[in-house]
Amino acid sequence: MSKNLPLWNKNETDVLIEHRLQYGHILLLKHEYEALLKKIQKIFKFKKPVDIHETLNKNALPSHEPQKTFLLNDEKVWHFIFAECAKDIMAIYAPHFLFFNSSKWIQLNRKTKGWLFYVDHGDSNEFFYTIFNSGNHYCNACYDLSGIHKLTHEPVDVYFNKELIFHKKDDSKDLTPELIEIISNDVVIANDTQKGIKFLTPIKNDEILPVSTYHVVFEANDK
């Protein structure tokens, strides 16, 4: 098992069940729920929602009893939870496998414009943020025990017969105070043995109550 995939099973084919709920999510500037929902419905090619709850409905969520953990999908339906984390900032929580690839979320960002943060959970003390602006990659960041900081990549050089034929440098932009502020307001969804579901701040794990939540259920689609 790769040291870089501590939340995955031994064969590295899928995320461990107990980590699927909070494996990935989207952070973005606030949008009106129904307008955002229509964009998601079109991009993921969903039919009309099977159910809509004006707030998070824990009783509607699938669960895996051996691990006593909630999930956001089963064979029949996929659940999308929208949460207003702070003023003008919201998060989208969806089935974990939708965060194995960012292409659909980039499409969403082209339609919503502005900032979108594609978030995946490295391990218990590490969150990675791929930041897009109107569908274009802006920079990468990490939130860990040392704080929020930009991730940079070493230049890539490709040689053929000792001749440099390709060079790529890190051309990402700066992690600005505005972006750091948005990340600092991020909220993670997590399982709780007593409450069922709770919302936490990354790294510090302080429980927080979102300003509002919106819970939408779609018929399962092809991954």
pLDDT 10s digits, 191-204: 887 778 899 999 98
> Rounded distance, CA 111 to CA 94, Å?
19
Query: Residue 164: what pLDDT?
Result: 58
The pairing of strands 89-93 and 163-168 is unpaired
Query: Residue 162: what pLDDT?
Result: 64
155-171 pLDDT, tens digit each: 555 666 666 555 566 67
Domain extent listing, the chain: 17-219
99-155 pLDDT, tens digit each: 998 999 999 999 999 999 999 986 778 899 999 999 999 999 999 999 999 988 765
SS3 of 99, please?
A: helix
Query: Residue 15: what pLDDT?
Result: 83
102-114 pLDDT, tens digit each: 999 999 999 999 9
Query: Residue 119: what pLDDT?
Result: 96
> Rounded distance, CA 192 to CA 65, Å?
13
Query: Residue 1: what pLDDT?
Result: 32
- Which contacts of 49-54 are long-range, i.e. CB under 8 A and separated by 24 or more positions? 49/216, 49/217, 49/218, 50/77, 50/217, 50/218, 50/219, 51/216, 51/217, 52/214, 52/215, 52/216, 52/217, 53/214, 53/215, 53/216, 53/217, 54/214, 54/215
Q: In this model, does residue 3 exceed pLDDT 50?
A: no
13-68 pLDDT, tens digit each: 788 888 888 889 999 998 888 899 999 999 999 989 999 999 999 999 988 877 67
Query: Residue 67: what pLDDT?
Result: 66
